[in-house]
Amino acid sequence: MKEKILKACRSIPTANLANYVKKQIVTLQELSSAGLDPTRVEEVRNHLRSDDHSQWDTAAQIGSAKALQTYLFLYPDGLHRDEALAALAAADEQEWNEVEQDLGAASLENYLAVFSNGAHADEARELLADLPWLEAKRSGTIRDMETYMQEHPGIHDDEARNVINGLLDDHDWVNACRMSSTEAYRHYVEQHPDGRHASEAQERIQAAAGRDAYVDALSMDPNAYSATQIQTAVDNNVITWDNVLGIFGDRRTEAIQSFRAPSELPYGNPPQMLQPNSTEVYFWGTPSSGKTCALGSIISSAQSSGIFEPLPCRGYDYMIRLSNIFRANGFCVFPTSTDVSSIQEMMLCLSDAKGKKHRVTLVDLAGELFRAVYNKQNGLFLDEESERTLATAMSYLKDRRNNKIHFFVVEYGAHEREWDGLRMVNYLDNMVGYLKSERIFRSSTVGVYVLVTKCDRMNVPFESRPECAFRYVSEEMPSFWNTLQDTCNRSGVRDLGVLSYSVGDVFAQQLCHFNGSDTEKVIRRLLAKTKAEGSWLDWLRA
Ligand SMILES: Nc1nc2c(ncn2[C@@H]2O[C@H](COP(=O)(O)OP(=O)(O)OP(=O)(O)O)[C@@H](O)[C@H]2O)c(=O)[nH]1
Ligand SMILES: [Mg+2]
């Protein structure tokens, strides 16, 4: 057919010749070489050109590589040549991407059938020539890689070894992750010091070390971190709630999870003077020694034993709210630190065994007063607020109308703790020296006690805590204790003692399972050292 057309091309109408070209039976080049007159060649080209647009529209609509290739064959210099080439290149890339997803003899042969001159044709042919390697890579198992190396030595040995190492690396990493222990990650790093997951393994080792240290600290001391700190540590993936559960058990973990900072207790201005006809009970102690907790728990216990009657006073609201914190059932959330300007007057009646009432005024003082007294004693700067609070406290103490009881609240184990570069014992020494020099202890002082708080930290049985508390005070803070004894002796204060105290089972610093057993001994002292209403003294006064 082709031969006939070329032979007779001079006598065939140009429209017919154009049709033969379109059908890809002959090309323009062949017609020209067969002796077709250049003007007639141009006429054939014009016939083809007039059809160029409609041919392109059809090819573009079909969009297949075959359709694009046909258009380019028909119109090698066509009006849409560039568009066709770009579309064909894109189709080539897409097809190759699919081949790479499923590398194998079938996919490569299919590719070459369409893109025999495609951008990846050479690569496809090379891969086809290397099918066993391709199959080994495709299976991706160590066994198939090793088999390949045995059967085809020296071709892809290095590559095969790299693949095997990578597979071993991944396998060991998956195992380490499954075990998820510091040991497992360490073992992985030993096996694969430059492995793909070495840096992640190191990070996990460090995180695990941080977690172990955190868990150890909490296991040794349930108050090593506050509830807020534990919540943050879980949020930051330092530890998990499972770790917390393992240390604290269900109910406490729930309490830590649901912990929210308590709202502040109300702090009003202190009264000018305390109300008369009541025994004043002062709670002295450095910050965070446990004064407010001790007071709250004492009032709460008195309340639940039915021997408490609140009296109108400036700190009435404070007293009620504080006692509500300590409940017999469930966990309680500790109050926040007492403000330096705060002196709370809490007036109440305690009923004794005979039903007689004893009026007492409990006075909650801020630990900050210790710094104020230290600064005052040593000529250091004292801010106005602290000066005013100290002056108010001193005016109460020098007012002789009421009897007085003093509790020095010292936190078990905290004597060496530093506050502003000084140890707690320094502040205690300084305070007791100050009170001595101001002649605060007089005959109206009916009792002075050192209340050693947080005794739940003692590593001794409950019944040995009082003895342990006494040893703690006399051995760890001898100058404070000696000065206190000396001052009491000189001032005629006959009742000086050390009491052990704990509000219960405290955990995560801010939470506690309240236990009122230590409150009773304080309440007994208060009843013993205060006068019952209706005594002959009252009768005389009236
Ligand atoms: N382990 C233990 N911790 C306690 C006990 N009582 C109090 N705490 C802890 O001590 C913290 C401070 O207690 P507070 O009663 O507020 O201390 P404070 O002496 O009134 O302190 P300031 O008001 O700052 O002077 C509490 O938040 C608890 O974390 C206790 O009996 N045992
Ligand atoms: Mg307080």
Beta-carbon-side half-sphere exposure of residue 181 (alpha carbons within 13 Å): 4
Q: Ligand 1 within 6 A of 506 CB?
A: yes
- Our answer on whether the CB atom of 326 is closer than 6 Å to any ligand 1 atom is no
Closest ligand relative to 427 C-alpha: 1
Q: How far apart (Å, rounded) are the C-alpha atoms in residues 526 and 542?
A: 24
Other Cβ atoms less than 10 A from the Cβ of 273: the count is: 13
CA 501 to ligand 1: nearest atom: 31
Task: Give the length of the chain.
Answer: 542
> Does any ligand 1 atom lie closer than 6 A to the CB of residue 334?
yes
Q: Which amino acid is at 216?
A: D
Nearest by Cα to 411 from 448, 457, 363 = 457
Determine the Cα–Cα distance for residues 309 and 322; give it in Å rounded to an integer.
15
How remote is the CA of residue 196 from the centroid of ligand 2, in Å? 55
Which ligand 1 atom is at minimum distance from the Cα of 335? 16
> Which residue's alpha carbon is at the smallest distance from atom 6 of ligand 1?
290
CATH architecture of 279-541: 3-Layer(aba) Sandwich (3.40)
**Which helix (DSSP H) or strand (DSSP E) does residue 66 occupy?**
helix 65-74
In this structure, the residue with its CA closest to atom 13 of ligand 1 is 290
Percent of the chain with pLDDT strictly greater than 70: 99
pLDDT digits (tens), the chain, 542 positions: 899 999 999 999 999 999 898 888 898 889 999 999 999 999 988 888 888 888 899 889 998 998 898 888 888 888 899 999 999 999 999 999 999 998 888 999 999 999 999 999 999 999 998 989 988 988 889 999 999 999 999 999 999 999 999 999 999 999 999 998 889 999 999 999 999 999 999 999 998 888 989 999 999 999 999 999 999 999 998 999 999 999 999 999 999 999 998 888 888 789 999 999 999 999 999 999 999 999 999 999 999 999 999 999 999 999 999 999 998 777 999 998 888 778 999 999 999 999 999 999 999 998 999 999 999 999 999 999 999 999 999 999 999 999 999 999 999 999 999 999 999 999 999 999 999 999 999 878 999 999 999 999 999 999 999 999 999 999 999 999 999 999 999 998 989 999 999 999 999 999 999 999 999 999 999 999 998 987 655 555 54
Atom of ligand 1 nearest to the CA of 334: 27
Give the max Cα distance, the chain. 154
Structure tokens at 422: 């000084």
Which residue's CA is the nearest one to ligand 1's atom 32? 454
Q: How far is the CA of 355 from the centre of ligand 1 (A)?
A: 32
pLDDT, position 523? 97
Ligand 2 center–CA 411 separation, angstroms = 13
pLDDT of residue 542: 46
The pLDDT score that the predictor gives to residue 21 is 86
137 ligand 1 Cβ < 6 A: no
Q: What are phi and psi of 3, to 5 degrees?
A: -60, -45
Q: Are 333 and 325 a contacting pair, CB within 8 Å? A: yes
Round to whole Å and give the CA distance between 463 and 461.
Answer: 6
- What's the gap in Å between 365 CA and the centre of ligand 2? 7
- Identify which of 220, 230, 453, 513 to mutate to test ligand 1's pocket (most ligand atoms within 8 A of the CB): 453
Q: Give per-residue pLDDT as tens, 495-536.
A: 999 999 999 999 999 999 999 999 999 999 999 999 898 765
pLDDT of residue 109: 94
| Dihedral class, residue 64 (left if φ above 0, else alpha if ψ from -120 to 50, else beta) | beta
Tokens 């184990």, residue located: 413
What's the 366 CA to ligand 2 centre distance in angstroms?
6
Dihedral angle computed from the Cα positions of residues 409, 413, 414 and 417, in that order, rounded to the nearest 10 degrees: 170
Closest protein CA for atom 1 of ligand 1: 454
DSSP character for 335?
A: P
- Which residues, listed in sequence order, are joined to residue 308 by a DSSP beta bridge? 350
Helix and strand totals (H; E) in the chain: 24, 12
Best residue among 228, 501, 506, 510 to mutate for probing ligand 1's pocket (most ligand atoms within 8 Å of CB) is: 506
Give me Rg for the CA atoms of the chain. Answer: 47
In the chain, CATH 3.40.50.300 covers 279-541
Spacing, Cα 288 to ligand 1 middle (Å): 5
